[in-house]
Copies of this chain bind each other. A is one copy, B any other.
Amino acid sequence: MSMELELVPAGLAHALEDLLLVDHHVHGATSHDLSRTAFEDLLGESDRPVPDWMTRFDSQLGFAVLRHCAPVLGLEPFCPPEEYLARRARIGAKEVNRLLLGACGVGHFLVETGYRAEELLGPSGMAQASGAPADEIVRLEMVAEQLAGSGCAAADFAERFAEALWERTRSARGLKTVAAYRCGLDFDPARPTATEVAEAAGRWFEEGGRLRDPVLVRHLIWTGIDRGLPLQFHIGYGDPDVDLRRSDPLLLRGLIELAEPTGVPLLLLHCYPFHRNAGYLAQAYPTVFFDVGLAVNHAGARAAALLAESLEVAPFAKILYSSDAWGPAELHYLGALLWRRGMARVLGEFVAEEEWSVPQAVRVATMIGAENARRVYGLGG
């Protein structure tokens, strides 16, 4: 995609600028100041320490921080990393969050709280820092692990989990599963029997550790479907803990078909590099939706290319926006900014090539950026 932004039709450019996004899958911004090491660690999905012969500032995401976040903090674009970090430290995390979250142009955050949430702003903190409403997405595995930690007989696990999930999600907007991390998506899609669940719970309680047993993961998913809230799936790109080969969304076909009669929306998150497969599923099944969050951030100058690849066979009502930001508010800001710039380029090209009209482009941007999520999660507005 080669269009320079000044060539984007004005009507489309303004519409994208003014559009209040719904970030339907995001985590909190960090409320702590970050050392250079801590900041760099978060400029990538790898959980490995950054080797001393490289810096993660030398990446698409690193370049995007220096290009786009530096001006928000009052610096020149493309300043050196040292200057950026020094300014960031001087301003302090709270003000960094206020500046960057305030500049996102997000009208509603759906905050997933299931991963190291104690280090991050919660939904109310996000609302306060950004000035936009924020609701919660609850991670199934976290509810199960808290239940296990609180002491629960294996035979009672199924019932107690359903109760805990209901209790924990009174005001939540949706659920999330990290089955891709825990056992891969190539699990038997059928709902496990009560006996299977009790046995698997017994094994887990004995062995301890994270919930990884595919029987239990399936049980969580099916209990989540019973709960009836939109259900998000981690797909594709993530930290090395995921076996990427086993996180292809096509592996979910059996589950999608079994769950289809319930009508529960299934939302495939991130999806890179399997986003075309996700688009295929969103086209085939009425209950399936997807986004290309996370990868848009991490691909920086290549964000437009990924967005273009997400605009192929899926109907436009089935595509959503998310940042999947976690930690530095740079990620919340860049997610929204790169999505706007990328969509302007991609849709602007469709218009320049006389394939789309400007009103069509504006409508699709509005659907993907906000309306689809408002409908799926019942956000009103």
A1 closest partner in B (C-beta): B2
CB of B253 within 8 A of CB of A243, answer yes
CB of A273 within 8 A of CB of B273, answer no
Within 8 A of B (CB), among A348-381: 349-350, 352-357, 359-360, 363-364, 367, 375
* 23 A-B residue pairings within 8 Å (CB atoms): A1-B2, A2-B2, A2-B352, A44-B315, A46-B285, A46-B286, A48-B284, A58-B316, A58-B363, A237-B280, A240-B285, A245-B250, A245-B251, A272-B312, A272-B313, A273-B280, A298-B312, A299-B313, A301-B311, A301-B353, A302-B312, A305-B309, A306-B312
A350 closest partner in B (C-beta): B301
Within 8 A of B (CB), among A234-263: 237, 239-240, 243-245, 248, 250-251, 253, 257
Chain B min CB distance to A325 (Å): 16
CB of A56 within 8 A of CB of B315, answer yes
CB of A295 within 8 A of CB of B313, answer yes
CB of A48 within 8 A of CB of B286, answer yes
Give the residues in chain B near A272, CB-CB below 8 Å: 276, 312-313
- Whether A4 sits at the interface, judged by CB under 8 Å, is yes
What does the 1/0 interface line of A63-81 toward B look like (CB < 8 Å)?
Answer: 1100100000000011000
CB of A298 within 8 A of CB of B285, answer no
Distance A313 CA – B275 CA, assembled complex (angstroms): 15
Contact of A301 among B77, B317, B355 (CB under 8 A): B355
- Whether A51 sits at the interface, judged by CB under 8 Å, is yes
Give the residues in chain B near A360, CB-CB below 8 Å: 63, 78
A47 closest partner in B (C-beta): B284
Given that A59-B316, A295-B313, A312-B298 are known contacts, is A356 also in contact with B237, CB under 8 Å in the complex? no
Give the residues in chain B near A54, CB-CB below 8 Å: 315, 317-318
| Closest 6 pairs (CB-CB, A-B) | A54-B317, A301-B355, A273-B276, A245-B250, A240-B284, A78-B357
Distance A99 CA – B151 CA, assembled complex (angstroms): 72
Most buried by B among A251, A313, A356, A357: A313
CB of A312 within 8 A of CB of B286, answer no
